[in-house]
Chain A
Amino acid sequence: MARRAPRSRNRTVITPEGVALPLVLATRGARAAALLIDLALIGAAMIVTTLTLIWIAGGIGLKLQEVEADGPKARALQALVIVWIIAMFLFRNAWFLFFELGPRGATPGKRVTGIRIAARGTERLTTEAVIARNIIRDIELFMPIVFIGGAVAAGSDTDLAGWAGAVWCAIFMLFPFFNRDALRCGDVIAGTWVVEAQRRKLGQALSVSAPIAASDQAFTFTPQELAVYGEYELQTLERVLRDGRGTTLDDVADAISRKIGRPYPTGAERVFLESYYLQLRAQLEQGLRLGRRKADKYAA
């Protein structure tokens, strides 16, 4: 089972190879947005299908009133009505299923909002799990809409049963707000959760992209000067170097130079920081290989 940190969206799963992989749970907002996009698309698809079928029916000269009549025209019309009923059923029930079974594990709405479904824990995502989580959608979404819609439409005339039904349905709809992992009922039943599907590009290796620092620079730091900082500061420095903004570079270079008591010539901030970064990393990584970690500047 996955390890949980309270109140944070970070989760860890262990792959079958025994390596821990970090996951970030999708926010409830992102999921709601994805759902709305999907519903809009489903609605659009339903309307387009309906209009197309009507257009086809009109093209072969059929009238809706003839559906009960006999003869070839009525049969053609019946066939169209069957296609329509089945298409509506599939749009309602198979849309989510079809897309979530694909390699992205995401409906179009989820793709747009950058999230996907995944299995909780170490098990693989199975076809059955995807089916289960989407069958449950019916009571979470479509039934409450019918119920609450009915209650609202009836207005003040709504009887007690109507309101009870609406409240009961609201419990299902609001289920994701009552648990840490933002699971909806379908996720509980299927053993799934929804996570962010981040995607990023790999930046250059810094010791290659910054060869000046390695070749003709003038800065060589002593182990004492390097012992001031730890891994946290190193990775902060890495971000600063990769973002590479002028004023931040200046500030950071000033701070380090003050801390270790070594000045640097004006205009050489970048060289100064790069050589400090590389030498600090070399020293920390050497410690790492020997089993010594230094988490941050406060660590002994």
Chain B
Amino acid sequence: MSEVAPTLLGRLGGWFSPTASAEIAAAEDAALRSDRFRLEREGEWKRLEAIVIRIEKGRLRGISDADLLALPALYRTAVSSLAVARETSLDAETLEWLEGLTRRAWFIVYGPRAGLGDWLMRFFGGGWSESVRALKQDILIAFALMVAGTIAGWLLVASDPDWYYALMPGGMGDARVPGASRAVLMGTLFGQQDQHGLAVFAAYLFSNNAQVSILAFALGFAFGLPSAMLLIQNTAILGALLWLYHGQGLTLELVGWLSIHGTTELFAIMLAGAAGLHIGRAMAFPGDAAVLDAAAAAGRRSAQVMVGVVLMLIVAGLLEGFGRQLVDNTAGRLIVGGFMLVFWSGYFFVWRGRGQSA
């Protein structure tokens, strides 16, 4: 079976460069054609493996530019080696190892390549507003649900004030109850700028609201129904509050009090609900795609919206924590709230981002 004896060339090579000659000699020594195939390419495979290991360990800095540039080419070499080896080699060890190496390189070459910085640039520069526009239908549904919730809350409380206690969460010591005097209600809207710890309050509000909106989104998984219910329930509270203050002729003041942060916060909640509905709709009516594929596509689209929602809630938390307590008149509050509403609407639906043709 000894097809190939060590050749003169191999021996000559040995005198000049020990490592290269070792590889050549090994390749020459190998009795099998498939082993020679392997030995000739092993150097490149090992180089790919070294790069992959370093990337996996997170030591990107330690990789030379030449190696990084070579990575895609080395990956393709490994892939084609694998394809060839499957058809020509019966060496299980090599095949399995090569499969493993290709898989690891595949994860890296086709992995989430955009760094966080790049991703954020794309996100703010059009990606976010584009994904919001993609949910247009769901946003309309969410908006309709919120309006319906508000009206329902108002009507319920108007027909029977006991509903107020059912809708309003918690707060035994809360001054905002049916039958409260105008002065008391007025006091809850104005004159709190002496309060301290506003920043803490803002951070708490953000953390709380963000968790609620994440919930509204995540619940979309159950065909969107819980998302819809959450939207209605939260806006019913709004309707009840409106009714309460309307009874004492304080509607405009309440709207001002709410709008300074509410335009941002309600917008964010609407987007979160819309994202949830989007997933729910994709799963209930997947169309031509398989349910799993439809859900995955919808999930990726709306995940971007959700990152935006969390950012909007940070803004809302700041406005609520600082802005509302510091701007102590209805006109000022309405101006700030109105400005935020115009800003978000313009950013999402008018501005088309960089390099967008549509």
The chain A residues found within 8 Å of chain B, CB to CB, are: 1, 15-17, 19, 21-23, 67-70, 74, 78-79, 81-82, 85-86, 88-89, 93, 101-105, 116, 118, 120-121, 124-133, 135-136, 138-139, 143, 172, 183, 185, 188-191, 197-203, 205-208, 211, 213-215, 220, 231, 234-235, 238-239, 242, 275, 278-279, 281-282, 284-285, 288-289
Contact = CB atoms under 8 A, between A and B. Distances in A.
A185 B219 CA distance: 10
Interface residues of B, number: 79
B32 A185 contact: no
B296 A120 contact: yes
Contacts, number: 221
B266 interface: no
Contacts of B197: 67-68, 74, 78
B231 interface: no
Main secondary structure of the interface of B (DSSP, over half): helix
Contacts of A79: 199
Contacts of B114: 127
Interface stretch (B13-21, B88-96, B237-245): B88-96
Nearest to A183: B292
Contacts of B56: 103-104
Given A125-B112, A132-B306, A183-B292, 12 more contacts: A78-B196, A79-B199, A89-B210, A129-B303, A139-B218, A139-B219, A189-B221, A191-B292, A206-B91, A207-B31, A285-B89, A285-B90
A284 B32 contact: no
| Those 4 A-B pairs whose CB atoms lie nearest each other, nearest first | A191-B296, A189-B299, A132-B303, A124-B110
A127 B296 contact: no
Nearest to B46: A202
A205 B92 contact: no
A230 to B, nearest CB: 10
A256 to B, nearest CB: 17
A286 to B, nearest CB: 8
B292 to A, nearest CB: 6
Contact of A143 (B2, B215, B304): B215
A201 B53 CA distance: 12
B203 interface: yes
B87 to A, nearest CB: 7
B90 A235 contact: yes
Nearest to A286: B33
Nearest to A126: B112
Main secondary structure of the interface of A (DSSP, over half): helix
Contacts of A131: 303-304, 306-307
Contacts of B30: 205, 207-208
B260 to A, nearest CB: 20
B279 A211 contact: no
A172 B221 CA distance: 10
Interface stretch (B97-105, B159-167, B169-177, B341-349): B97-105
A103 B68 CA distance: 14
Given A19-B102, A21-B103, A282-B32, A103 B108 contact: yes
